[in-house]
Chains A and B, each alone.
Chain A
Amino acid sequence: MNNTLSIEVGSQIIMLLAALMLVIQLLLVVQQMLLTNVRLFALQSLMLSAIATVVAYYYNATHIYIVAVLTLVGKVIFLPWLLNRIVRRINIVQEIEPLFSAPTSMLICGGLTLLSYLVARPFTTLHKLGNNTLAIAIALLLTGFFLMINRRKAITQVLALLTIENGVMLAAVALTTYGMPLVVELGIFFDVMVAVMVLGILVYRIRETFASMDTGKLDQLKG
């Protein structure tokens, strides 16, 4: 009895944190300042880390604790610091220039969230810890893709990629009973880490060559 009660509480905490991740994602969509975007991403990763901790606590799974710590160190502290440094070093204009206006993109993201709820609906009847997070994970994925399309500057596209990765991690940690095997998670994690570092250098080069980070200008590479 006691155990089911605490599982119930854990499920609620996971739901709450996952919903907060979604809200932060929506804030990312409307937020115009680059540095605030980076901070929001750090906050979102913190939520993910907390979810991993809760899951690890309820399933007594050591390797998910490792995932939580890695997320905390890598995505809450290291990557935001790195992105911050890139932003400061290349001295770019803070304002993001999205393709769609904020209300339009907000509505599109609302639609994408609705879509992901519909897609995930058949799975929500499963009785398992955090089963409802699938919808939120899919929503994070879809809105992450939208963010990537919507923004022209290379560095904001990197951020969008990271939020997509957050969505994947959420599904991996909260949905599968014991998380994925540690090797897989480590693989994903370092993959993204290295990708961001390479992209950081690439962004710097794009900026050097074109005096702008607008990826739309990359089609003029012909000699």
Chain B
Amino acid sequence: MNLDVLSIGLQTALLLLLAPLITGCIRNWKAKLQNRRGPRVWQPYFDLIKFLRKDMVISEHASWVFSAAPYIVFITALLVGLMVPMVTVQAPLSLFGGVLAVVGLLALGRFFMALGGLDPASTFGGMGSSREMTIAAIAEPALMLAIFTVAITVGSTDFSHIVATAQQPGWNLFNPAHLMAFAALFVVLLAETGRIPIDNPSTHLELTMIHEAMLLEYSGRYLALMEWGASIKQLVLMTILVNIFLPTGLAADWSATSLGLGMAVFLGKILLLSAAVVLVETANAKLRLFRVPDLLSAAFVLAAMALLSTFLFH
């Protein structure tokens, strides 16, 4: 019990502190790759501190939903983060449903973010919300099918169980079904975190923005919570991607060596995945909005086929 509190505390701290760093790393590397100097790696921390200290301007048309949304977005992201194994095999929180709860909580956060965009009656917010929901409607089934592919091979929807089984010898790392699921999940990651082929995270251009459009009316503390929540969600999705499909190195016990090793391996994997995201962002142009469903349906069919092949290659 004591250890539980400790592990929850540790993972919360890790989520809170690491998430902005990953966002900063991606921004910095992307700038470097495009021959710009770019913001420093820890710029997101300064941004968050500054937002937290600023006053808020709230539209007079906004209702309580507008103020509740940032907290719900932030807390759901954090809660999902606690249910996914990051450094240790055992996730601090595995209460109910495993994968289903994770997808459900992510959906809840997204729902309230969309409501927060709609609530102040700004045109751009509504547009962003409608786009976000359109994309989510295709990305979410792909996310579920891709995770279920692994869950079926393991025989459990509990993340800790999945990771523990995947670490055992005899686990086929290069199972074609898992590779397909990994590819599908990578596309979903790009969609869910608003990365370039789908959305541009660094623009406020009216016609193209999706995620930014919903945050347009937010300022001060609420904006900080929204941004922080978004980067935590990004970190959590990346963690799911690397730890489910490549669970090597996760700490099985609480000794200092295995924890340190787990931490180092985890950081390495996440940074590698960030580098992949940076490469994709630099090498591709943003898709037209009407082309986005093409890409996402490809991810969906890929995930469906992955699920199909688990039955075949059994």
Contact = CB atoms under 8 A, between A and B. Distances in A.
A102 B297 contact: yes
A132 B312 contact: yes
Contacts of A103: 293-294, 297
A117 B301 contact: no
Contact of B301 (A12, A18, A107, A124): A107
Nearest to B177: A19
Interface residues on chain A, size class = 20 to 34
A113 B305 contact: yes
A30 interface: yes
B313 interface: yes
Given A12-B174, A16-B174, A19-B180, A26 B298 contact: yes
B172 A12 contact: yes
A23 interface: yes
- Tell me which of A15, A107, A114, A135 has the highest count of chain B C-beta atoms within 10 A of its own C-beta: A15
B308 A117 contact: yes
Contact of A110 (B176, B177, B305): B305
A19 B180 CA distance: 8
Nearest to A13: B174
Contacts of A102: 294, 297-298
A23 B180 contact: yes
Interface residues on chain B, size class = 20 to 34
A23 to B, nearest CB: 6
Interface of A is mostly: helix
B201 to A, nearest CB: 24
B184 to A, nearest CB: 10
A148 B141 CA distance: 29
Interface in B181-232: 183
A158 B313 CA distance: 32
Contacts of B312: 117, 121, 124, 132, 135
Interface string A194-207: 00000000000000
Interface string B293-305: 1110110111011
A107 B308 contact: no
Interface string A84-122: 000000000000000001110011011001100100010
Interface string A121-140: 10010000000100100000
B179 interface: yes
A180 B305 CA distance: 29
Interface of B is mostly: helix
B282 interface: no
A20 B180 CA distance: 8
- Tell me which of A103, A121, A132 has the highest count of chain B C-beta atoms within 10 A of its own C-beta: A103
Contacts of A18: 176
B301 A110 contact: yes
Interface in A1-38: 12, 15-16, 18-20, 22-23, 26-27, 30
Contact of B305 (A22, A101, A132): A22
Given A103-B297, A106-B301, A110-B301, A19 B308 contact: no
A19 B301 contact: no
Contacts of B153: none
A15 B294 contact: no
Given A16-B176, A19-B309, A23-B183, A110 B294 contact: no
27 contacts: A15-B176, A15-B313, A16-B176, A18-B176, A19-B177, A20-B176, A22-B305, A26-B298, A26-B301, A26-B302, A27-B298, A30-B294, A30-B295, A30-B298, A102-B298, A103-B293, A103-B294, A103-B297, A106-B300, A110-B305, A113-B308, A114-B308, A117-B312, A121-B312, A124-B312, A132-B312, A135-B312
Interface of B: 172, 174, 176-177, 179-180, 183, 293-295, 297-298, 300-302, 304-305, 308-309, 312-313
Given A19-B177, A19-B179, A110-B301, 13 more contacts: A15-B176, A16-B179, A19-B309, A22-B305, A26-B298, A27-B298, A102-B294, A103-B297, A106-B300, A114-B308, A124-B312, A132-B312, A135-B312
